[in-house]
Amino acid sequence: MRDLGVGFRYLLKGQRWVARHGKSYGFGLLPGLITLVLYAAALVALALWGEDAVAWATPFADGWSSPWLGLFRGFLTAVLFALALLLSVVTFTAVTLLVGQPFYENLSEKVDRDVSPDGHAPESGLPLWRELWISARDSLRIVLRAALWGVLLFACGFIPVVGQTAVPVIGFFVTGFFLTEELTAVALQRRSVELRTRLGLLRSRKTLVWGFGTPLAVAFLIPFVAVFLMPGAVAGATLMARELLGEEIREDGGEGEGAVTTLPQPPSGSSSPA
């Protein structure tokens, strides 16, 4: 359970890092703002026409008497919107990271240089188009996995009591895991760590991942918060990636600005993916 607190501290340390590096924070806001506008438009459209979509998908209920028809379709509309919110939280990170690949790569490299004992940041050596392709391909795979979990949780939501209590909590933990995978991918892809291995690393430290990603998933439900937390989340995920790989993290500030002060901890069982 100690890892829960460690993961949350990495989230806070990432926010503190960008607070000390205002220029990096400012550039890191741009991709999130662009993505937020796109997602807000999609959710507004769903709110306006979601009921019509549910009515089209349930023609068998057209002959039902009042109030059962309204209650049934109203419930499905609410569940549809809730599912859309869940998927938007998961995919927002993937889309924002894809849109802002050059911005976040640069930010992650600066974090690595700042906390690395030799001031070195690992580089993939790949051209930008290749990095974008790998990022898009891996993000699609993660989104598909998240969508499968979303469908499963949606179905479990119909179970009395459990669907209204345990399922939402599980949903936040699942969302937090996938959010953390997307965020740590920025640093791990530069180290040529494949998706399968990345998932193995994260599964080997689930409580660490949940401590970082679950509070972030909850915060991302608040409008506009995701945009302002994204740069710090990338910075914190870079620090956590270093711990997962057992890389040393320097205690003193590399540029005299008080860099992260944490000690490295060798990863547990991270040599082979789950």
Of 39-53, 80-94, 112-126, 187-201, the poorest mean pLDDT is in 80-94
Average pLDDT over residues 34-43: 87
Higher pLDDT, 56 or 237: 237
SS (H, E, C) the chain: CHHHHHHHHHHHHHHHHHHHCHHHHHHHHHHHHHHHHHHHHHHHHHHHHHHHHHHHHCHHHCCCCCCHHHHHHHHHHHHHHHHHHHHHHHHHHHHHHHHCHHHHHHHHHHHHHHHCCCCCCCCCCCCHHHHHHHHHHHHHHHHHHHHHHHHHHHHHCCCCCHHHHHHHHHHHHHHHHHHHHHHHHHHHHHCCCCHHHHHHHHHHCHHHHHHHHHHHHHHCCCCCHHHHHHHHHHHHHHHHHHHHCCCCCCCCCCCCCCCCCCCCCCCCCCCCCC
Average pLDDT over residues 184-188: 91
Would you list the domain boundaries of the chain? 1-245
pLDDT at 13 over 70: yes
Average pLDDT over residues 200-228: 88
Average pLDDT over residues 86-104: 79
For a pLDDT cut of 70, what percent of the chain falls above it? 91
* pLDDT of the residue at 187: 92
* pLDDT of the residue at 58: 80
Average pLDDT over residues 194-201: 91
Indicate the pLDDT class of residue 232, thresholds 50, 70 and 90: very high
Structure tokens at 144: 């598909």
* pLDDT of the residue at 110: 92
* pLDDT of the residue at 152: 87
Of 14-18, 168-172, 202-206, 240-244, the poorest mean pLDDT is in 168-172
* pLDDT of the residue at 123: 80
Of 46-50, 160-164, 255-259, the poorest mean pLDDT is in 255-259
* pLDDT of the residue at 251: 62
pLDDT at 264 over 60: no
pLDDT tens digits, residue range 64-76?
877 887 788 888 8
Average pLDDT over residues 258-262: 43
In whole numbers, what is the pLDDT of the chain averaged over residues? 82
